[in-house]
Amino acid sequence: MEVSGKQVADENGKTTLEPANSKLVLKELCLRIFLFLLSLTAVVVMVTSNQTKLVQTPYGPYPVSMTAKFSDFPAFIYFVVALSVSLSYSIITALATLWILKKGCSSKNLLKFYLVSIANDVVMVGVVAAATGAAGCVGYLGINGNSKVRWTKICNMYSKNCRQIGSSIIISLAACILLVMLVVLSAYSVHRLARKALN
């Protein structure tokens, strides 16, 4: 193998990653796979949170079957859509990262890849964080209610539903933190590649 500038070429003339760059790309791939798992888990836990119970109402002597569904709340629907977008995004970016790891690319193209990744990851942080905040707000009302506007709490009746929603929100928060870590990793990679290019 011969080193030419910032690129490494093998005997077939194919551009491969330098070992240090390869490690960074591998770390990014692992984080993106973990993001996929977190997003998938959050969506599945939220969608399967439906719970049916017999509830006594003031309108008759017999209890009525009532179901608490995530689809009854627009905030939870937005949450599922946002995490589904994160899920799709993680698949696409993981495949792109894997392609770079397998096929190799020049430092210049790798720098472009990281710059695009930073922009997209920042957008995804905003989308997932907004969905997590909206779902968390509705979840808080479900636990505590709001006595000032006479909204009653429902988590005392639908405990399974509330536990799953709470778990899904916590998983989504972990996905937000992971996306921030991806932004930081990409920014570090850009800094490292730019510094090498200037030297």
More confident residue, 5 or 168: 168
Distance from C-alpha of 165 to C-alpha of 171, rounded to nearest angstrom: 10
Q: SS3 string of the chain? A: CEEECCEEECCCCCEECCHHHHHHHHHHHHHHHHHHHHHHHHHHHHHCCCEEEEECCCCCCCCEEEEECHHHCHHHHHHHHHHHHHHHHHHHHHHHHHHHHHHCCCHHHHHHHHHHHHHHHHHHHHHHHHHHHHHHHHHHHHHHCECCCCECCCCCCCHHHHHHHHHHHHHHHHHHHHHHHHHHHHHHHHHHHHHHHHC
Which range, of 90-94, 106-110, 127-131, averages the lowest pLDDT? 106-110
Distance from C-alpha of 195 to C-alpha of 98, rounded to nearest angstrom: 25
Average the pLDDT over 141-168 and give the result: 83
* pLDDT winner (highest mean) among 9-18, 49-58, 113-122: 113-122
Here the contacts of 55-64 (C-beta below 8 Å, separation 24 or greater) are: 55/157
Q: What is the pLDDT of residue 7?
A: 44
Average the pLDDT over 154-165 and give the result: 84
At residue 9 the predicted structure's pLDDT band, cuts being 50, 70 and 90, is: very low
Domain ranges of the chain: 21-198
**pLDDT reading at 159 higher than 70:** yes
Name residue 16's beta-bridge partners: 8
Average the pLDDT over 116-131 and give the result: 94
